[in-house]
Structure 1
């Protein structure tokens, strides 16, 4: 009776506490747009939601923003950005796709920032630094989530002024 259900209850409880804290913080700052006003598109040819690493990455991203879409090709990402009329968007791309994707999406009005999630930070920083909407190149999803949260906070402040 204990093992599996207890773990699920703990995970649900922890998630609920995080969501509750986030909701309380947002309620106190009513002037700020909520995280629902943002879209993250995670584009990587290797995304497999049956994979535990991908599930973990998605969980961490959803702790920052409610709407996270995935796609495996640059074309799918471009289409999602073009279809988006409402939300401010952020793209998290693999290094390999990002190098070819960024020139096609950089000037899109609703796109606020691009993050490169890769295995070789030094290699991808070389080309990524040439694009002003690139907010970071990192090998850690935790670091990307921190930078994403900072970028969203900045967007909220910009909309208040």
Structure 2
């Protein structure tokens, strides 16, 4: 929610406990005056006098929300883990007519209330002009819609995006084969995100166990970017815990896995 300084000061006490309210951004002329009350409210992410910094903050917070909503299993025998593996194998074996699949996705998106027509037209016109990884990281509905479908096991979304899941997996596999000769034997990657208190408690109880992420996982080799842009902001939410995952990749082990990775 974006509010003016005077309005925000009047209503913040009534709205800050709303569970559906993730963040508040104050847009005003007198930054110093409104920071006095805004800094005491965890959901107020900042006080701004220009719109561009708000847009940048919104982009980062949207990414944090998407990351925090990724489904995670903490046990290799977990039903979600097993179902996800079977679903992935089935999707990768399907051979669809890509032209028809894109049209089906576009038609489905036009039936939804939360996807802009401009983004739908962009996918309709230019899907073949960019790589799957480009689409996955671009500022369109693709990333959030795919993760929502996988998180909620929404069959409609997963089937409509099945062709994209297959294309993205194939692209990562191709890059993996191209890059594996130049990869170091061992290296670290980082991922910052927020955990609900419930998931955090589950994770603490499975120390030494198996964790699986039910999606395509984005990481960085830069620890500070993962910490400052994702883990630290998530910690400012009273309902979540900021987590920085430090993952050591052993390429000798990973080459035996059916799950590809690439830079």
The structure with the largest alpha-carbon Rg is: 2
TM-score under structure 2 length normalisation: 0.27
TM-score under structure 1 length normalisation: 0.43
